[in-house]
Amino acid sequence: MIPRVEQLSRKYDRTLGYVLIIPVAFVIFVVIGFPFLNSIYLSFSDKVVGVEPKFVGLDNYIYIFSDREYWKVLKNTFIYMISSVSIKLAVGLILAVVVNEAFFGRGIFRMILLIPWALSGMVAAITWRWMYDDTYGIINSMLLRWNVIDTPIPWTSGVHMALVSVIIVNIWKGLPFFIFSLLGGLQTIDSQMYEAATIDGAGWVRQFFAITIPSIMPVITITTLLSCIWTFNNFESVYLITGGGPLNASAVISTYTYEVAFQQNLLGRALAVAGSVVPILVVMIVISMRKLKADD
């Protein structure tokens, strides 16, 4: 039986914890919660700049769900997210295993891998846009010089290449996050597990799938979840490189929302576009949290 003094102490600590959380919770609600709730309300209105909103019910949602452009943009968003995150995970895991080994110049190599993550997103996007330029871009110039292509590739203006271009940039920019997150997980694995597996005759492939992957699965799960959310909501790279064009070929939900809100001046409909993907993000988070609990 727990002594009464200890019970009072625990009750006091719990109460103190709640009291200390109140200011933080209030700030979070003011900064995030209230704007979010207000956005949900405005998504059911015909809000435009300079005019008081009028409640229109589900009209905005009915319109966007019947709009082909919306479904095209949503498809682009999933292609963008799934392709980028999958490649970042696969390549990041390989490079994490490589830089976890001891070799000459490992520190310098790690520093070089970290550069894309350290660069400003705007600087990186503008640099890549210049590199993609049909006439003056270094990428087409090198490919033409090496006789890999006969004509310049329309990286940012081609209907079939624009989305590929922004996916490449997202992979380059986000790869260090996967590398160093997974590297941290790899460094927590007990080396004795590999020694025991080697004695039992397990090769490196079997050790990788039987020891390495299961050991860092919680890190893989949370890293993938965060990257999915960031990639799904990415605006900066897409907008600065292609602007979502041509003909929304590279548009994602974030750039499409911006276009509807500030170019078409339909704030209510734009908020409906943004609100329509909230359930998708919630489902992603719930699935990942369940996966984390299962791994534990």
Task: Look at residue 8 in the predicted model and tell me its pLDDT.
Answer: 67
Burial tier of 46 (Cβ tally within 10 Å: 0-12, 13-18, 19+): middle
Task: Look at residue 48 in the predicted model and tell me its pLDDT.
Answer: 86
Task: Look at residue 231 in the predicted model and tell me its pLDDT.
Answer: 93
Measure CA of the first residue to CA of the last residue in the chain; give whole Å.
Answer: 30
pLDDT digits (tens, 9 = 90+) for 269-292: 999 999 999 888 888 878 777 776
Task: Look at residue 190 in the predicted model and tell me its pLDDT.
Answer: 84
- For the four alpha carbons of 90, 92, 96 and 99, in that order, the dihedral sign comes to positive
pLDDT at 135 > cutoff 90? no
Measured at the alpha carbon of residue 72, what is the angle toward residues 67 and 76, in degrees to the nearest 5?
150
What number is the average pLDDT over the span 36-57? Answer: 87
What number is the average pLDDT over the span 255-280? Answer: 91
pLDDT confidence band for 168 (50 / 70 / 90): very high
Of 59-63, 190-194, 236-240, the range with the lowest mean pLDDT is 190-194
pLDDT confidence band for 4 (50 / 70 / 90): low
pLDDT confidence band for 294 (50 / 70 / 90): low
pTM to 2 decimal places: 0.87
What number is the average pLDDT over the span 218-238? Answer: 90
> 98 vs 93, 101, 186, CA distance in Å?
9, 6, 11
pLDDT digits (tens, 9 = 90+) for 64-112: 999 999 999 999 999 999 999 999 999 999 999 999 888 888 889 888 9
Task: Look at residue 6 in the predicted model and tell me its pLDDT.
Answer: 67
Looking at 156-289, which runs of residues are DSSP E strands? none
> 43 vs 54, 78, 265, CA distance in Å?
10, 23, 13
Q: 86: closest CA among 167, 160, 185, 163?
A: 167
The chain-wide mean pLDDT, for the chain, equals: 88
pLDDT confidence band for 181 (50 / 70 / 90): very high
pLDDT confidence band for 295 (50 / 70 / 90): low
What number is the average pLDDT over the span 27-53? Answer: 85
